[in-house]
Amino acid sequence: MTRAFTLRALILRRQRLAVAALVVAFGVATVSGVLVFTDTTRTDFQKLFAHSAGRAAVVISGRDGALVPGAVVRRVRRVPGVAVAVGEVSQSVTIVGPSGAVVPAARQASVAVSALPQRLSDVRVISGHQPRGLDQVAIDAQTARLEGWIVGSHVKLLTGQPLRSFRVVGIVTRALSGQRLVVFGLAAEQSLYGLGKSVDSILVAGRRTAAPGLIGRIRKLLPASVSAEPRASQVSAQVSQVSASFSSLNGGLEAFALIALLIGGLTIFNTFSITAAQRGNELAVLRALGATRGQIVSAGLIEGLFVGVAGAVLGVVLGPLFALTVHRIFEGTGVGLPAGGLVLRPSAIAIGLLVGIGVALVAAALPALRATRAAPIEALRVAAGERPRVGRVRLESALRGVLALALIGNGLLVMLLSSGSDAERLRRCGIGGALVLIGMLVAGPLVVSGVGSLLAHMPGARRRALRNAVPSLAREHLVLNPGRTALSGASLMIGVALALAIGVYVGGLRAASSRAINQTVLGDLAIEGSGGAAVPADVVRAATAVPDVAAILTRSPRCRSRGSTRPAGATSIALSGFRGPAHRSPTSSQVRCWSSQTPRGLTGSRRGRTSR
């Protein structure tokens, strides 16, 4: 009977069902969305690096970002078993639209690459042909569509040279990284960026029969500054390197998933306990009419199951949309994420479903259990009108206060006194935060009661209450069930905290990247292209000529390009007029590569405050 009754109750209370299911759906969507996003990001990075070396068997590149001399290409070609060996150059470029404005970078700085034979490249020619000669370029399809360029159009580009016009002879697919792409002929790009005959890397494809031992034969020929790696190992090295640098991103996302889970659970629980309170009357009548606790609880469970399944399924469907939104948010902040389809792993779906249904079941069962714990007469009395409890309230409040203080205190200690590696500190922060949160949840009802009596004892409160009953009624309602009020408040609090956390986190990512520049670029003033665009070489020359500039440092996407005597295009320039205060010495490999080339006055000290 309870089953039929519950079903009818559910069907006829569509609104209640819908609200509870939507709440479940929200929680599940957040959880599974974050999981989908994490999976997607991870997979995209792997794909990105797997493709970035094209289809070469061996990649030869300079150690510590040094250039590979052109002679090496010729030597490698003569190695037995080598079918194709092609030098590749990849530099940053600024694309100027027909209106004269810089075309904003997509995801990462726009890149100029040298044309590669089809078998080594993941860039495909859609129309036209590969560029030949100094004034021809191919451009990626999305950028071409955006600016209305077709084969035969002229585009203005800032390369290592002042702004000049090139003829579009081909439209190509965009690389998986999603950057805007300009393709030059190898010789053209070498001369535009002042590289001589040097290249950034050499891509080698072997004859099928000669694959084993090929890399060994190649290595014997290479100068000390150049290394050869099988593509596979290079890819895995890159993936692990990037995974490490993005571990904080993933950690953050996992933290979001946990917080989402917590909010979802609390909201679901709260919704159910409110509906249980509203149903108090019905439950009391059922109890009086002889429904056992088991029947009431199983009715609650069936309801929870319905709401949980409906909400969780909806949530799992909405989850990927949530993931897309998060992706957009991160893109919008300029954090470069690779493009690619969403990755839906069964685990993300299963976890979402389990969480939704599990939380809904627990959330439905607890209030039902609580409703049946009271004798039916209590329930009838509550149904007739809720009464504040008396008796053990004072003892309970005292215990609650002590417990809350202990939890919050310990949580803060754990958070503030954490030391060790970043991951360890992050983990401890999470644990401490959870303790503080639980402590606040425990303290909630006390705070509500406290605020309630504070409001009641405010000067003039009684006089005002006589004139206008509404505020005091509102106050009464607030403290009628402090636990429920506190729980509603807590969901709201966590929601606001989450919104804030996302803001802080995204802001933090942005700040971290600019801090990275601050720590590595040690001048008083930095000049950067907007939206990741390159700074043209003539700007660098002009900056050098400014009277008060003592030293100048250019930073390119690849350090090796600074090896040339002529300053090439850079993504930023640091200018220094004085010696900044000594500070933490930079440690990343990128920074080392900077320092080796950095003029005196800019090394070993952090960029100081900008003097005006």
What does the binding site for another protein look like in residue numbers (CB under 8 A)? 1-2, 4-5, 8-9, 12-13, 281-282, 285-293, 295, 375-377, 380, 384, 390-391
Closest CA to 559 of 12, 24, 62: 62
CB of 411 to another protein, least distance (A): 38
- Number of helices (H), then strands (E), in the chain: 19, 15
Please state, in angstroms and rounded to a whole number, the distance separating the CA atoms of residues 476 and 350: 44
Please state, in angstroms and rounded to a whole number, the distance separating the CA atoms of residues 266 and 366: 12
Considering beta carbons, is residue 61 or 295 the nearer one to another protein? 295
Considering beta carbons, is residue 287 or 484 the nearer one to another protein? 287
> Is the Cβ–Cβ distance between 110 and 179 less than 8 Å?
yes
SS3 category, 153 = coil
Burial of 328-361, coded b for 16+ CB within 10 Å and e otherwise, reads eebeeeebbbbbbebbbeeebbebbbebbbebbb
Q: DSSP label at 605?
A: B
Considering beta carbons, is residue 255 or 277 the nearer one to another protein? 277
> Is the Cβ–Cβ distance between 130 and 183 less than 8 Å?
yes
Considering beta carbons, is residue 254 or 282 the nearer one to another protein? 282
Considering beta carbons, is residue 293 or 345 the nearer one to another protein? 293
Beta strands in 45-180 (DSSP E): 58-62, 82-88, 90-92, 94-96, 111-114, 125-128, 136-140, 154-158, 164-172
Q: What is the largest CA-CA distance in the chain?
A: 101
Burial of 172-206, coded b for 16+ CB within 10 Å and e otherwise, reads bebbbbbbbbbbbbbebbbbbbbbebbbbbbbbbb
Considering beta carbons, is residue 292 or 587 the nearer one to another protein? 292
CB of 376 to another protein, least distance (A): 5
Please state, in angstroms and rounded to a whole number, the distance separating the CA atoms of residues 536 and 517: 19
CB of 401 to another protein, least distance (A): 23
> Is the Cβ–Cβ distance between 334 and 510 less than 8 Å?
yes
> Is the Cβ–Cβ distance between 356 and 28 less than 8 Å?
yes
CB of 301 to another protein, least distance (A): 17
Residues 6+ apart with CB under 8 A from 35: 257, 319, 345, 347, 348, 351, 352
CB of 291 to another protein, least distance (A): 5
> Is the Cβ–Cβ distance between 72 and 60 less than 8 Å?
yes
CB of 312 to another protein, least distance (A): 24
Considering beta carbons, is residue 341 or 391 the nearer one to another protein? 391
CB of 17 to another protein, least distance (A): 11
CB of 354 to another protein, least distance (A): 30
CB of 396 to another protein, least distance (A): 16
